[in-house]
Amino acid sequence: RKDLLSLTHLSADDISLILETADSFKEVSGREIKKVPALRGKTVVNLFFEPSTRTRTSFELAAKRLSADVINFSPSSSSVVKGETLLDTARNIEAMQADIIVLRHSSAGAAETLARGVKSSVINAGDGWHEHPTQALLDLYTIRSRGMGFAGLRVAIVGDVAHSRVARSNIFALTKLGAEVRVVGPPTMIPLHISQLGVRVYHNLDEGLRGVHVIMMLRLQLERQGRALFPTIREYARQYGLTGDRVKLAEPGAIVMHPGPINRGVEIAPDVADSLSSVILDQVANGVAVRMGILYLMSGAG
Ligand code: CP
């Protein structure tokens, strides 16, 4: 497969292969082994048109631990500011022999457009409200690393689902693997026809959390909201903020996830984010191994 654009394109077997390949890189990602030469001679370009802490850094670390050359392209200090298009930018990067382009962009469909226009492999590192496939894959890896199987797993995805590319990719993957997915949030933040994706909709957080094995909190994406946020941040925090008491409604041993960055005190109470139930930093750590697996498989090195 040339590109990784969406989890709708992957089968359950494809997903298993990525998770198993990530397993084989876990020791390298955790620095027990320093580096492997799998991608020596390959070039990975990080092309991020939106801010990122976790995704950009972990792609860079993943590529370096596979011995690839890595270029972090910064649009704000490039000829993009003179009006050069995404496609022209990428074609120029490709002309310098980029094997894999990792793209983050504010427009849904940007990664697909780019993939059609270049011969390099393209990895979607988040395109607008559309998808964030590598985030969902590292989320699956984290769930699996806690000894949970996917068939029959009850997962509540809570919050600003309408603006969440993380939610969409997780819904595609989790339903494909046989999990029962609930989406929980105010009607203003849940897309109207989302039940067509095979999920159950809850507007009451306590009801949505009852008996779940995984609580996946989403960031309230203030930068993507319209002018008048409804409910207000204060109302939202009261009705949909995850507190320690609410975690107790889930199954004993349930885990709390969040893709980051977190708004402490808005969608999640600080003590919950830092609690033993929280696997938020495990998600970040696992991101390196999972992205190593993805880069390895896409480079053809395997
Ligand atoms: N989860 C995630 O995509 O985080 P960043 O925006 O920091 O990359």
104 labeled part of a ligand binding site: yes
Nearest-atom number in ligand 1 for the CA of 104 is 8
Separation CA 214–CA 196 (nearest Å): 21
Nearest-atom number in ligand 1 for the CA of 132 is 3
Residues 203 and 122: beta-carbon distance below 8 Å: no
Domains of the chain: residue spans and CATH: 7-131+286-299 (3.40.50.1370), 147-278 (3.40.50.1370)
Task: Identify the residue with better confidence: 54 or 233.
Answer: 54
Separation CA 272–CA 258 (nearest Å): 11
User: Which residues are paired to 131 by β-bridges?
Assistant: 127
Q: Going by CA atoms, what residue is nearest to atom 5 of ligand 1? A: 52
Residues touching ligand 1 (Cβ under 6 Å) are: 52-55, 126, 135, 259-261
238 labeled part of a ligand binding site: no
Interface confidence (ipTM) of the complex: 0.98
Q: Report how far apart, in Å, the C-alpha atoms of 228 and of each of 74, 145, 177, 239, 263 are.
A: 32, 40, 37, 18, 19
Q: Taken in order 195, 200, 204, 208, is the CA torsion positive or negative?
A: negative
pLDDT above 70 (res 215): yes
Average pLDDT of the segment spanning 148-159 = 97
Residues 127 and 104: beta-carbon distance below 8 Å: yes
55 labeled part of a ligand binding site: yes
pLDDT above 80 (res 159): yes
pLDDT above 70 (res 87): yes
Separation CA 268–CA 264 (nearest Å): 6
Average pLDDT of the segment spanning 14-22 = 97
Give the per-residue pLDDT at 210: 98
Amino acid letter for position 270: P
Give the per-residue pLDDT at 302: 60
pLDDT above 80 (res 266): yes
Strand arrangement, sheet containing 180-184: 200-202, 180-184, 154-158, 214-217, 255-257
User: Which residues are paired to 256 by β-bridges?
Assistant: 215, 278
Give the per-residue pLDDT at 293: 97
Separation CA 66–CA 87 (nearest Å): 27
What is the number of other CB atoms lying within 10 angstroms of the CB of residue 13?
8
Count Cα atoms within 13 angstroms, Cβ side, for 14: 15
Mutate-to-test residue for ligand 1 from 46, 50, 52, 288, highest number of ligand atoms within 8 A of CB: 52
Task: Kindly give the distance from the C-alpha atom of residue 52 to the centroid of ligand 1, in angstroms, as a whole number.
Answer: 5
Nearest-atom number in ligand 1 for the CA of 55 is 8
pLDDT above 70 (res 225): no
168 labeled part of a ligand binding site: no
Residues 291 and 58: beta-carbon distance below 8 Å: yes
Task: Give percent above pLDDT 70 in the chain.
Answer: 98
Residues 134 and 116: beta-carbon distance below 8 Å: no
pLDDT in tens, 168-184: 999 999 999 999 999 99
261 labeled part of a ligand binding site: yes
Mutate-to-test residue for ligand 1 from 135, 223, 283, 284, highest number of ligand atoms within 8 A of CB: 135
pLDDT above 90 (res 143): yes
pLDDT above 80 (res 44): yes
From the list 137, 108, 110, the residue with the least C-alpha distance to 298 is 137
Task: Kindly give the distance from the C-alpha atom of residue 106 to the centroid of ligand 1, in angstroms, as a whole number.
Answer: 13
The dihedrals phi and psi of 261, each to the nearest 5 degrees, come to: -70, 150
Per-residue confidence band for 77, with pLDDT thresholds at 50, 70 and 90: confident
pLDDT above 90 (res 248): yes
Average pLDDT in the chain:
94
